[in-house]
Amino acid sequence: MKLKHIIEWSVHWSTPSCKMDEDAPVADGVLLYLSVGGTSVIGLAVQCSDGRYFGSIRASGPVYDHVLQSLKRNQGRTLREVMDAEIDISDVIQ
């Protein structure tokens, strides 16, 4: 299963000009770092050609650890590659 199919995306991204943008061009940006907020939200920082964007994803409890580990392993890759990556969650799906 692809990572993008098991997470919930942030609707808005904070742009380099400190505005919120629904259509931020982050797909080809590089995943720089993550911040963990609670038990279901993971903050993302993505470096794009015009600056750094900040957003978040939400992963449900059973798959949260798998999603976090996948993101950590894929830091430095484009967000498109990260979200298209396969993730094995067979041990938490019933």
Mean pLDDT of all residues in the chain? 91
**Could you report the per-residue pLDDT of 22-46, keeping only the tens digit for each?**
888 899 999 999 999 778 999 999 9
pLDDT at 94 over 70: no
Cα 47 to the center of its chain, rounded Å: 13
Asked if residue 56 lies in contact with residue 43, where contact means CB atoms within 8 angstroms, the answer is yes
- The DSSP call for residue 45 is E
Task: Report how far residue 60's alpha carbon sits from residue 32's, in angstroms, rounded to the nearest whole number.
Answer: 23
Beta strands at 30-37 and 20-21: parallel, antiparallel or unpaired: unpaired
pLDDT in the model for residue 75: 95
Answer yes or no: pTM beyond 0.85.
yes
Q: Which residue has the tokens 């990572």?
A: 3
* CA–CA distance, 93 with 52 (Å, rounded to integer): 35
Query: Can you give the pLDDT at residue 68?
Result: 93
Q: Give 10's pLDDT tier (boundaries 50, 70, 90).
A: confident
Tell me the domain boundaries of the chain: 3-81
